[in-house]
């Protein structure tokens, strides 16, 4: 099964006209000719069906004006077989055990955490019971790593992959979104911290979401050159993100553009097989 491990849905109440959303969101939605929630869903389904992919994981973000929350994402996943449910949870919630149990019942395939936005230090020992639950339910953890551009916060250091060392040691299946990379040269890169973690722990991976940019292309080439790293990445678009690299030809379908680019660069089937294995599909 060919899967996009990381896509997003706009919030059902998102209003493009009076939103204070940042530049990136505006560009993404302009490219999609965004009009409303329903058209967004239908467009994404059309792109998946037109591509060679079978399914995409829709990742929820709670308490965001821009991204759809768990309830909205779950309802779309129940209606459309093209989507798999990526639930957003907070390890510090008192009823986290019940929430994981319910997410598992709702057929969530992974748990997403955006540390800087949720203000979660994943190296804190209070996260240990949460990691135990992830292992019990065989749920991988998808963590945003590197600077967050869409949902702005001040705690960017929380997105450092190095903070995942104790979870990695415990054997939690971890996918570091964007492999800890940066989009602009003047910013801090966590790519090296991701490579160290991915090379040290069998259960640590990275996703290639939103990495087709002039700066990140150098990190993509470093991954390709190292067979051990190349074996540790998964296909992802981070839709509605699309390739932002001028030398490449672009179509309207950013999913096809993204995998065509990766395949031309030298990535093989492993990027899909890893996802299938990690999600236990
Ligand atoms: Zn994302």
Q: Are 255 and 208 in contact (CB under 8 A)?
A: no
* All structural domains of the chain with their residue ranges: 3-278
Average pLDDT (39-57) is 97
The alpha carbon of 277 and the centre of ligand 1 are apart by a number of angstroms equal to: 21
Q: What is the mean pLDDT of the chain?
A: 94
Nearest CA to 240 out of 99, 59, 110 is that of 59
For the entire predicted model, the pTM comes to: 0.95
The alpha carbon of 195 and the centre of ligand 1 are apart by a number of angstroms equal to: 20
The alpha carbon of 182 and the centre of ligand 1 are apart by a number of angstroms equal to: 14
pLDDT for the residue numbered 23:
73
Q: Of 119-123, 171-175, 192-196, 240-244, which gets the smallest average pLDDT? A: 240-244
The alpha carbon of 64 and the centre of ligand 1 are apart by a number of angstroms equal to: 13
pLDDT confidence tier of residue 21, bands split at 50, 70 and 90:
low
Fold of the CATH domain 3-278: TIM Barrel (3.20.20)
The alpha carbon of 209 and the centre of ligand 1 are apart by a number of angstroms equal to: 7
Whether the per-residue pLDDT at 19 is higher than 70: the answer is: no
Name the residues around ion ligand 1, CB cutoff 5 A.
Answer: 238
Whether the per-residue pLDDT at 195 is higher than 90: the answer is: yes
pLDDT for the residue numbered 153:
75
Whether the per-residue pLDDT at 201 is higher than 70: the answer is: yes
pLDDT for the residue numbered 248:
73
Euclidean distance between CA atoms 154 and 156, whole angstroms: 6
**Tokens representing 114?**
């955006």
**Tokens representing 15?**
């209003």
């Amino acid at each position: 099964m060919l899967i996009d491990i990381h896509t997003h849905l706009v919030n059902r109440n998102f209003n493009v006209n009076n939103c204070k959303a940042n530049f990136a969101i505006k560009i993404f939605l302009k490219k999609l000719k965004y009009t409303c929630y329903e058209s967004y869903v239908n467009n994404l389904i059309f792109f998946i069906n037109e591509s060679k992919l079978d399914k995409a994981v829709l990742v929820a973000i709670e308490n965001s004006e821009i991204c759809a929350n768990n309830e909205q994402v779950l309802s779309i996943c129940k209606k459309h077989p093209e989507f798999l449910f990526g639930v957003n949870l907070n390890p510090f919630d008192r009823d986290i055990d019940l929430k994981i149990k319910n997410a598992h019942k709702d057929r969530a395939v992974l748990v997403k955490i955006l540390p800087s936005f949720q203000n979660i230090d994943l190296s804190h020992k209070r996260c240990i019971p949460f990691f135990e639950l992830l292992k019990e339910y065989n749920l991988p953890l998808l963590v945003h790593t590197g600077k967050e551009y869409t949902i702005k916060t001040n705690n960017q250091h929380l997105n450092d992959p190095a903070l995942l060392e104790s979870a990695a040691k415990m054997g939690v299946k971890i996918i570091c979104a964007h492999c800890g990379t940066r989009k602009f040269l003047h910013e801090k890169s966590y790519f090296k911290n991701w490579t160290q973690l991915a090379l040290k722990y069998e259960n640590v991976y990275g996703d290639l979401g939103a990495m087709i940019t002039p700066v990140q292309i150098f990190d993509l080439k470093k991954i390709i050159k190292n067979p051990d790293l190349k074996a540790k990445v998964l296909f992802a678009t981070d839709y509605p993100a699309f390739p932002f690299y001028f030398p490449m030809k672009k179509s309207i379908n950013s999913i096809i553009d993204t995998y065509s680019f990766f395949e031309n660069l030298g990535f093989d089937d492993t990027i899909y097989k890893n996802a299938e294995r990690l999600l236990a599909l």
